[in-house]
Homo-oligomer: A and B are copies of this chain.
Amino acid sequence: MRILGIDPGSQRTGVGIVDVDGAGKMTHVYHAPIDLLKGDDEFDADALREQLPLRLKRLLRALGDAIERFAPAEVAIESIFMARNADSALKLGQARGAALCAAVMRDLPVHEYAAKEIKLAVVGTGGADKAQIQHMVGLMLNLKGKLQADAADALAVAITHAHVRATARRLGVTARQAWRK
């Protein structure tokens, strides 16, 4: 099964895709950061900086392209209980809302995992730092070189869901039930 992991951010959103087979073996498919401030043929860089709706359109488009290209069956995203402050929470919330729209408008099931759950699944301890996650994601998926941080986080949440999925399959329960055990 193919899983799309998303690490939403108001300036950069990470995309990570992994395949997991029935035995729980994972294979890296794709990863990249989507830079919401970077212009291209369709989007003007100055306009992107000034207009939030345009940045969300860029995000929706880029995620939609990844979904069309790789056809994931499920989506995994970090759940956020508390942000640093109201201003960053608002920005993060809008990017997260747009990212979720890209998934739900295509009827893809969305699974949410807390940061602690992701660290536990990838590094083995709920208190792991960013560098440890980048390192372990690279090891688990046989990737060479340093991973871009947002793409690594996106792969990490996809790996978390792959783990939970594989466990659920072994136990004959749903992913949600497996995680609660």
Q: Chain B residues near A98 (CB, 8 Å)?
A: 97-98, 100-101
A23 at the B interface (CB under 8 A): no
A73 at the B interface (CB under 8 A): no
B101 touches A101 (CB 8 A): yes
Give the number of copies in the complex: 2
Q: Chain B residues near A139 (CB, 8 Å)?
A: none
Interface size on A, residues (CB 8 A): 32
Counting chain B CB atoms within 10 Å of each CB, the highest count among A56, A82, A101, A105 belongs to A101
CB-CB contacts below 8 Å: A4-24 with B: none
Binding stretch for chain B, among A29-37, A88-96, A165-173: A88-96
CB-CB contacts below 8 Å: A55-84 with B: 56-57, 60, 80, 82-84
Instruction: Select A104's contact among B60, B91, B104, beta carbons within 8 Å.
Output: B60
Contacts A53-B104, A94-B100 aside, 9 further interface pairs with beta carbons under 8 A come to A56-B104, A57-B104, A82-B86, A83-B86, A89-B89, A89-B90, A89-B93, A93-B93, A98-B101
